[in-house]
């Protein structure tokens, strides 16, 4: 039993064969998936993400505006996403939100304002957050330290972790789980593995971020939830534990975190 803590199976890449993709995941022991909605909050993109979760057993959804689209976030967008949260029991998190200074599709100051605003909205709705950070780790940690303190914070997941060991430590201190994607299996990812070394097993999750970041041995092909097993097997070897132990542990971490 494994969980894909971060996938995008509502995306166009899966329009042709979504039923088979979900079936393959379940046949491979991936019984639970968290589908992360992305896109334009003024379109039907997020409605589709929630509809996919509603359609399949074991598929949950998260809604929130990606840093790429931060410039599109306004009162109307926030209302639309809040309504979606209230419309379905399957929506269990707010995200992915955060900072992406690598692509910088939205201005940096707008990304930071919208990141803070969405954390506050998630807290108001009593939802945990899913965070994306690329080339903005210091700024991300600073905002999280400021906005996520206090008892009532429901916690967060740093998805597709790509930071330093000290970033991982800082995040775990403020109640975050650390999720690794297929890129941890790549040959040149030594830096990423240095960070993985400090992550305790009870804070660990695995994800595909599919259709992107396909793990070895399928690198280059479209990624899908069934492949999360390869990342999990790699990490089990890395932590020198049985695969079953890591699978059970990451599943338990996810279930406890979301109270499922």
DSSP string computed for 45-60: HHHHHHHHHHHSTTEE
Q: Applying CB under 5 A, which of residues 90, 121, 123, 132 lies at the interface with Zn ion?
A: 132
Name the nearest CA neighbour of 184 among 248, 241, 227: 227
* 69 binding Zn ion? (CB under 5 A): no
- Closest CB to Zn ion among 137 and 209? 209
Number of residues that bind Zn ion (CB under 5 A): 4
Side-chain half-sphere exposure of 98, counting CA atoms within 13 A:
25
**CB 166 to Zn ion: min, Å:** 21
CB nearer to Zn ion: give 161 or 236.
161
Q: How far is the CB of 118 from Zn ion (least distance, A)?
A: 14
Give the closest residue to 127 by CA, choosing from 101, 90, 161, 98: 90
d(CA 107, CA 71): 7
Contact map string, positions 35 to 54, toward Zn ion, x by CB under 5 A: -x------------------
**SS3 at position 47:** helix
Which range touches Zn ion (CB under 5 A), out of 16-24, 130-138, 169-177, 241-249? Answer: 130-138
Q: Where are the alpha helices (DSSP H) in the chain?
A: 18-27, 45-55, 75-87, 108-124, 137-147, 165-173, 190-196, 228-239, 243-258
Give the pair of three-digit tokens for residue 52. 């996919």
CB of 234 to Zn ion, least distance (A): 20
Cβ nearer to Zn ion, comparing 34 with 36 = 36
Q: Is 68 helix (H, G, I), strand (E, B) or coil?
A: helix
Helices 75-87 and 45-55 pack at an angle, to 10 degrees, of 10
Only one of the segments 71-79, 188-196, 205-213, 230-238 lies at the binding site for Zn ion (rule: CB under 5 A); that segment is 205-213
Site string (85-124) toward Zn ion, x via CB under 5 A = -----------x----------------------------
Structure tokens at 153: 């914070």
Nearer to Zn ion, 132 or 203 (CB): 132
Among the listed ranges 10-18, 29-37, 149-157, 185-193, the one in contact with Zn ion (CB under 5 A) is 29-37
Confirm if 234 and 192 have CB atoms less than 8 A apart: no
Shortest spacing between CB 150 and Zn ion, in angstroms = 26
Radius of gyration of the chain (CA): 17
**To the nearest whole angstrom, how small is the minimum distance from the Cβ of residue 151 to Zn ion?**
28
**Which residues lie near Zn ion (CB under 5 A)?**
36, 96, 132, 209
């Amino acid at each position: 039993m494994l969980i894909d803590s971060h996938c995008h199976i509502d995306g166009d890449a899966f329009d042709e064969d979504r039923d088979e993709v979900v079936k393959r995941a379940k046949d491979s022991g991936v019984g639970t998936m968290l589908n992360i909605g992305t896109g334009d909050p003024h379109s039907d993109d997020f409605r589709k993400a929630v509809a996919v979760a509603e359609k399949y057993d074991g598929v949950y959804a998260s809604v929130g505006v990606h840093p790429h689209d931060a410039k599109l976030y306004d009162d109307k967008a926030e209302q639309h996403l809040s309504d979606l949260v209230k419309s379905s029991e399957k929506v269990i998190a707010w995200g992915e939100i955060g900072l992406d200074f690598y692509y910088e599709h939205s201005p940096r100051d707008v990304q930071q304002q919208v990141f803070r605003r969405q954390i506050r909205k998630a807290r108001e709705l009593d939802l945990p957050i899913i965070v994306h950070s690329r080339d903005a780790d210091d700024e991300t940690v600073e905002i999280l330290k400021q906005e996520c303190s206090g008892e009532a914070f429901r916690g967060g997941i740093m998805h597709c972790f790509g930071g330093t060991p000290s970033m991982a430590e800082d995040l775990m201190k403020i109640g975050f789980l650390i999720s690794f994607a297929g890129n941890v299996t790549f040959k040149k990812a030594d830096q990423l593995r240095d960070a993985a070394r400090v992550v305790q097993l009870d804070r660990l999750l695995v994800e595909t971020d599919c259709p992107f970041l396909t793990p070895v041995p399928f690198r280059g092909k479209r990624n899908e939830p069934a492949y999360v097993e390869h990342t999990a097997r790699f990490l089990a070897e890395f932590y020198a534990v049985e695969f079953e132990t890591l699978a059970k542990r990451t599943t338990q971490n996810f279930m406890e975190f979301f109270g499922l």
